[in-house]
Amino acid sequence: MIILGVDPGLTRCGVGVIEAGAYRRLSFIHVDVVRSDPKSPQDRRLLTIYDGLAAKLDEFAPDVVSIERVFAQENRNTVLGTAQAAGMAMLAAAQRNIPVALHTPTESKMAITGNGKAEKIQMERMVARILNLNTLPKPADAADALAIAICHALRPAGAIQGGEREEHLTAAQRQWAKAAQKASRGRTQGRAM
């Protein structure tokens, strides 16, 4: 399965492409940043981001597009631009009938490090280790795009499917799956009361 990860941003939109093989073996394919000129009008910037993402989708023909879910930040303009860039990624994928998945930064950190509060350098090191890269992916937007693609590949909902057994999962996958099961049991018990 080819997964294209997107770290949305209006100035720099990270794009990372990986392949998820048997037993969740992950391979690096591509990493890049689509950029728009901050001095250009908003509509032109969005078009630049859309065109760049569309070109990546056409080039790599992914099976799924994994996008970092926009979360609240103090700077409203940053949130708006990020949300709009995420919308461009969703639109480009939908036009090509490619499924879209949204994952939060916390989900990404949990999937990759087993710690939902991991520091950025920890994430970059683990992304490099998981994908057998000799150097840390740069810039940070590119590393985040690879992380969101890895997150989708390692998501707990798909961690034990297609005959995979628990011993084939990484420690982070097992920890995440246990946390998800515990949270699910908590919600079920809460409804029963």
Domain range summary for the chain, segments of one domain joined by +: 2-192
Q: Which pLDDT score, from 0 to 100, does residue 137 have?
A: 86
Q: Is the pLDDT higher at 162 or at 70?
A: 70
Q: Which pLDDT score, from 0 to 100, does residue 159 have?
A: 41
Active site residue 68: yes
Active site residue 144: no
- To the question of whether residue 141 is assigned a binding role by annotation, the answer is yes
Q: Is the pLDDT higher at 48 or at 105?
A: 48
Residue 111 per-residue DSSP state = H
User: Under 8 Å CB-to-CB from 117, ≥6 apart: which residues?
Assistant: 106, 109
Residue among 28, 42, 138 nearest 81 (CA): 42
Q: What is the mean pLDDT of the chain?
A: 84
CATH architecture of 2-192: 2-Layer Sandwich (3.30)
- To the question of whether residue 144 is assigned a binding role by annotation, the answer is no
What does the CA dihedral 122, 135, 85, 10 come to, rounded to 10 degrees?
A: 100
- High-pLDDT (> 90) share of the chain, %: 58
Active site residue 74: no
Catalytic residue among 68, 107, 124, 144: 68
Could you report the per-residue pLDDT of 84-139, keeping only the tens digit for each? 999 999 999 999 999 999 999 889 999 898 888 889 899 999 999 999 999 998 88
Catalytic residue among 32, 141, 144, 164: 141
Q: Which of the residue ranges 28-32, 35-39, 121-125, 183-187 would you say has the lowest mean pLDDT?
A: 183-187
CB 57 within 8 A of CB 4: yes
- To the question of whether residue 58 is assigned a binding role by annotation, the answer is no
Q: Which pLDDT score, from 0 to 100, does residue 79 have?
A: 83
- The stretch 71-77 carries a mean pLDDT of 64
